[in-house]
Amino acid sequence: MNQPSKKASVIVIFGATGDLAKRKLFPSLYNLYCKGELEEDFAVVGVARRKLSNEEFRSRVHDAVIDTACMDKDDKHKQFSDHFFYQPFDVTKSESYQDLKALTESLDTEFNIPGNRIFYMAMAPEFFGTIALNLDAEGLIEGDGWNRLVIEKPFGHNFSSAQKLNDEIRQVFSEDEIYRIDHYLGKEMVQNIEAIRFANALFEPLWNNRYISNIQITSSETVGVENRGGYYEKSGALRDMVQNHMLQMVSLLAMEPPASLSTEEIRSEKVKVLRALRAVIPEEVSKYFVRGQYDAGEVNGTHLQGYREEENVDEASNTETFVGAKLMIDNFRWAGVPFYIRTGKRMTSKSTKIVIEFKDMPMNLYKEQSGKLGPNLLVIHIQPEEGMTLHLNAKDTGDMRKTTPIQLNFNNKQENYINSPEAYERLLHDVMRGDATNFTRWDEVALSWKFIDPISIAWANEKEPTFPNYASGLMGPQASDDLLEKDGFHWWPLPENK
């Protein structure tokens, strides 16, 4: 028998009949398999309440991966699906765990797996603690191999619920066995932030308050809440997007160069940024934060209803579907540089991008000329385009005293699109390899909730009388533009009519 690979493992997916498993996990596993990143020594056990046979489960997996861009689909798929097994499961019953134990141990033998386990929580968070405690009580994590627990967002809905959840899972798993997913950290261009900063002599010397005037991060969606009104009413954009994805991007942009690219060095530098974030006291929330809720509107000739008309949404809802904010990082590098963030639903376009706006030179000889002179911008396109654009000024071809803005572009899609793995694929592969760099450590989660809690409390206590305050299809409420204008800035790119 061959030596098992380092990634050899039984992957148990709790919630394997759900949306996440179908849309993200199965296609990601299949892509890894097709690319040869997974050897034959793995097995996947799907568990959920409903009763399915292995064959029925494999047929679901087949349907989920049928559209993936994978060569040699038919043959590969048959071999791939032979690694999948299903077990009906009740998370509260010890028999379910005993059956799972017996199944995983038999799969160790069948697939030459040395007892390694990945437990992937693709279920509602209220079950995570119960499952972890039962896995321990029923002896599922006492084998010879390694154990890894993968936890989806939301990791709590405030600091105290996050701490409670963390305490439960920490009774069973050590911090380095826990992989808290923030799928933005799996995105190609988010991972590229470190390379752009720390592999280019051009940028890092300028990456501070002497040369950067402000940084802007926009993550906009065109869709509304769709059929997730019930979930969104309890979450809102602040908890759904800002506490995790937006603050993670801020940390990567603002952190000091780590001593090395190791997991702990990078995460330790990120956490220092969160510690330096200026806390927003409840009385000052409106100075730093803006909230919005979408109204009805016309988008591409289609009439779309407002948030309060959506299914499972209160008709007087106070839930924000948009957040704009000015974050200040009170440390030596960033003192005085605002980090503006905005995120929301039903906005003009679906896009995530970062704009770094550089200060003008102390004396710019071209300033008084009649040509166009723009600030230098570095734009990092996270999605749907992947790449970066550097905005510079060059001589106007006609007049030697005039300048004109030019752009240098790098478009990752053109170069590498076919090979560029999706975020979940990359993150699943990292879990198998035991690389936790692109997962959030508990202290990051704790600090980001502590930062967010006073804002969500203030907003819950005070209804926003102007809601709904932006029409579907706009980039949020006017107050979001005002937030920057007060500081003499504006969101990039400029709206067409400005």
**Residues with active-site annotation:** 245
Nearer to ligand NAP, 230 or 336 (CB): 230
* Binder among 1, 36, 50, 74 for ligand NAP (CB under 6 A): 50
* Binder among 12, 122, 285, 325 for ligand NAP (CB under 6 A): 122
Q: Is 125 in the site for ligand NAP (CB under 6 A)?
A: yes
Nearer to ligand NAP, 90 or 487 (CB): 90
E strands, 384-430, in order? 387-395, 403-411
* Binder among 20, 61, 149, 242 for ligand NAP (CB under 6 A): 20
Contact letters for ligand NAP, residues 60-99 (x by CB under 6 A) = -----------------------------xxx--------
Residue 102 CA to its chain's centroid (Å): 35
Minimum CB separation of residue 184 from ligand NAP in Å reads: 11
CB 269 within 8 A of CB 253: no
Nearer to ligand NAP, 12 or 273 (CB): 12
**DSSP secondary structure letter of residue 23:** I
- 10 Å CB burial of residue 178 (0-12, 13-18, 19+) is buried
Size of residue set near ligand NAP by CB under 6 A? 20
Q: Is 18 in the site for ligand NAP (CB under 6 A)?
A: yes
Minimum CB separation of residue 488 from ligand NAP in Å reads: 38
CB atoms within 10 A of CB 412: 16
Q: Is 259 in the site for ligand NAP (CB under 6 A)?
A: no
Minimum CB separation of residue 314 from ligand NAP in Å reads: 21
**DSSP secondary structure letter of residue 313:** -
Q: Is 15 in the site for ligand NAP (CB under 6 A)?
A: yes
Residue whose C-alpha is closest to residue 293's, from 460, 463, 470, 464: 470
* Binder among 108, 135, 150, 152 for ligand NAP (CB under 6 A): 152
* Binder among 48, 215, 242, 452 for ligand NAP (CB under 6 A): 48
DSSP string, 50-82: S---HHHHHHHHHHHHTTS--TTHHHHHHHHHT
What are the counts of helices (DSSP H) followed by strands (DSSP E) for the chain? 16, 18
Nearer to ligand NAP, 228 or 272 (CB): 228
Nearer to ligand NAP, 123 or 432 (CB): 123
CB 10 within 8 A of CB 107: yes
Strands 147-151 and 178-180: what pairing?
A: parallel
Q: What is the dihedral of CA 20, 26, 29, 33, to 10 degrees?
A: -170
The stretch near ligand NAP (CB under 6 A) out of 19-27, 247-255, 265-273, 459-467 is: 19-27
The stretch near ligand NAP (CB under 6 A) out of 121-129, 251-259, 352-360, 397-405 is: 121-129
Buried b (16+ CB within 10 A) or exposed e, 91-124: beeeebbebbbebbeebbeebbbebbbbbbbbbe
Q: Is 45 in the site for ligand NAP (CB under 6 A)?
A: no
Nearer to ligand NAP, 239 or 326 (CB): 239
Contact letters for ligand NAP, residues 447-486 (x by CB under 6 A) = ----------------------------------------
Q: Is 186 in the site for ligand NAP (CB under 6 A)?
A: no
Minimum CB separation of residue 221 from ligand NAP in Å reads: 13
* CA 333 – CA 257 distance, rounded (Å): 12
Sequence-separated contacts (24+) of 314-320 with Cβ below 8 Å: 314/233, 317/233, 317/293, 317/467, 318/459, 318/460, 318/463, 318/464, 318/467, 319/232, 319/233, 319/235, 319/236, 319/293, 320/236, 320/237, 320/238, 320/291, 320/292, 320/293, 320/459, 320/464
Among all residues, whose Cβ is closest to ligand NAP? Answer: 18
Residue 194 CA to its chain's centroid (Å): 16
* CA 341 – CA 349 distance, rounded (Å): 16
* CA 270 – CA 251 distance, rounded (Å): 5
Residues 194-213 that bind ligand NAP (CB under 6 A): none
The stretch near ligand NAP (CB under 6 A) out of 46-54, 205-213, 238-246, 424-432 is: 46-54
Nearer to ligand NAP, 340 or 424 (CB): 424
Minimum CB separation of residue 483 from ligand NAP in Å reads: 28
* Binder among 83, 153, 267, 441 for ligand NAP (CB under 6 A): 153
E strands, 103-245, in order? 117-121, 147-151, 178-180, 212-220
Nearer to ligand NAP, 131 or 277 (CB): 131
Question: Which residues of this chain interact with ligand NAP, rule CB under 6 A?
Answer: 15-20, 23, 48-50, 89-91, 122-125, 152-154
